[in-house]
């Protein structure tokens, strides 16, 4: 069974984001194919995609390597998110479906409950799900793709501190959903802008560990191509 290149791309990206492959680490097709249990063909395609996304760079005499984002690139990433997330919220207010709204309201209820209980790890996952659903509700494929890529890059470049007042954070989420439900695009944009600015202040550049010298194999479903 052929393993699609997008599945290999996801696996490599996840390993870059989690630090399995550190910045500047070489990414050879042979080693990656063996790690993920696939042929070199989907690996080659995946590396091209990851290079277009900025996770991988090609160096003369070294081939594909994990990119090394600069401090300026990291700052630009946060600035772009602060600009694009309010746009997604405004579009969600105009284009959301009842299904999106049901999921968003359910996430707010869960988030508020977990915030009262002090369950920080659950809140991190719920927050990610909330923002992903909000961007999906924008019904704008290009914007959704950009925000998804930026979330991956944010996880790669930054450590995000937990909100000092999680109940207030989830109250903001609730107010944002109310604006989306009413179709109030400007109110949704304004609330999302304030929330994004506050969230940006909780991001700290991630300290990068040294490149690991060996990696255990990761077996992809379906065997080799």
Within 158-219, residue ranges assigned H as helices are 166-182, 185-200
Give percent above pLDDT 90 in the chain.
73
**8 Å CB contact between 76 and 191:** no
Q: For the chain, give the number of residues.
A: 225
Tens digits of per-residue pLDDT, 120-177?
778 888 999 999 999 999 999 999 999 999 999 999 999 887 777 889 999 999 999 9
Considering the domain architecture, whether residues 119 and 160 belong to the same structural domain is answered as yes
pLDDT at 221 over 70: no
Q: What pLDDT is attached to residue 15?
A: 96
Burial of 83 (0-12, 13-18, 19+ CB in 10 A): exposed
- Tell how strand 63-66 and strand 56-59 pair up: antiparallel
Phi then psi for residue 159, to 5 deg, are -100, 135
Question: CA dist 180 to 25, 78, 95, 138, 185, Å?
Answer: 43, 23, 9, 10, 7
> pTM here?
0.81
Considering the domain architecture, whether residues 33 and 103 belong to the same structural domain is answered as no
| Average pLDDT of span 98-121 | 92
- Tell how strand 158-160 and strand 63-66 pair up: unpaired
Task: Output the domain CATH number for residue 108.
Answer: 1.20.120.530
Tens digits of per-residue pLDDT, 34-87?
999 999 999 999 999 999 999 999 988 889 999 999 999 999 999 999 999 999
Residue 20 sits in which domain range?
A: 5-66
Considering the domain architecture, whether residues 55 and 109 belong to the same structural domain is answered as no
Task: Output the domain CATH number for residue 9.
Answer: 1.10.10.10
Considering the domain architecture, whether residues 169 and 84 belong to the same structural domain is answered as yes
* Alpha-carbon span 131 to 151, nearest angstrom: 10
Only one residue has tokens 């709204």, namely 101
In a domain, 174, yes or no: yes
Considering the domain architecture, whether residues 108 and 81 belong to the same structural domain is answered as yes
Cα dihedral 7, 62, 74, 22, rounded to 10, equals 70
Considering the domain architecture, whether residues 165 and 82 belong to the same structural domain is answered as yes
- Please give the structure tokens belonging to residue 135: 């961007």
In a domain, 83, yes or no: yes
- Please give the structure tokens belonging to residue 158: 């930054």
Considering the domain architecture, whether residues 61 and 83 belong to the same structural domain is answered as no
> How many independent structural domains does the chain possess?
2
Strand ranges inside 25-174, DSSP E: 56-59, 63-66, 158-160
pLDDT at 222 over 60: no
Considering the domain architecture, whether residues 57 and 80 belong to the same structural domain is answered as no
* Alpha-carbon span 8 to 156, nearest angstrom: 18
Q: What pLDDT is attached to residue 211?
A: 37
| Average pLDDT of span 100-120 | 92
Considering the domain architecture, whether residues 111 and 41 belong to the same structural domain is answered as no
In a domain, 52, yes or no: yes
**8 Å CB contact between 46 and 9:** yes
Return all residues near 8 (Cβ < 8 A) that are at least 6 apart. Answer: 32, 36, 38, 42, 43, 45, 46, 220
Considering the domain architecture, whether residues 47 and 107 belong to the same structural domain is answered as no
Considering the domain architecture, whether residues 55 and 89 belong to the same structural domain is answered as no
Considering the domain architecture, whether residues 160 and 94 belong to the same structural domain is answered as yes
């Amino acid at each position: 069974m052929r393993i699609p290149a997008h599945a290999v791309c996801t696996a490599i990206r996840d390993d870059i984001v989690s630090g399995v492959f550190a910045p500047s680490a070489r990414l050879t097709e042979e080693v990656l194919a063996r790690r993920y249990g696939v042929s070199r063909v989907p690996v080659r395609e995946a590396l091209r995609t990851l290079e277009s996304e900025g996770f991988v760079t090609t160096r003369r005499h070294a081939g594909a390597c994990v990119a090394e984002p600069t401090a300026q690139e990291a700052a630009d990433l946060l600035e772009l998110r602060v600009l694009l997330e309010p746009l997604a919220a405004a579009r969600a207010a105009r284009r959301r479906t009842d299904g999106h709204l049901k999921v968003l309201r359910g996430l707010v209820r869960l988030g508020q409950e977990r915030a009262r209980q002090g369950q920080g790890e659950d809140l991190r996952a719920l927050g990610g799900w909330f923002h992903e659903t909000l961007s999906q509700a924008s019904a704008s494929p290009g914007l959704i793709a950009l925000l998804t890529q930026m979330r991956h890059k944010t996880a790669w470049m930054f450590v995000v501190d937990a909100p000092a007042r999680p109940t207030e954070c989830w109250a903001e989420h609730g107010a944002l959903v109310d604006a989306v439900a009413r179709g109030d695009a400007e109110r949704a944009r304004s609330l999302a802008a304030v929330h994004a600015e506050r969230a940006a202040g909780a991001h700290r550049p991630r300290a990068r560990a040294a490149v690991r010298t060996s990696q255990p194999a990761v077996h992809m479903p379906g065997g080799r191509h």
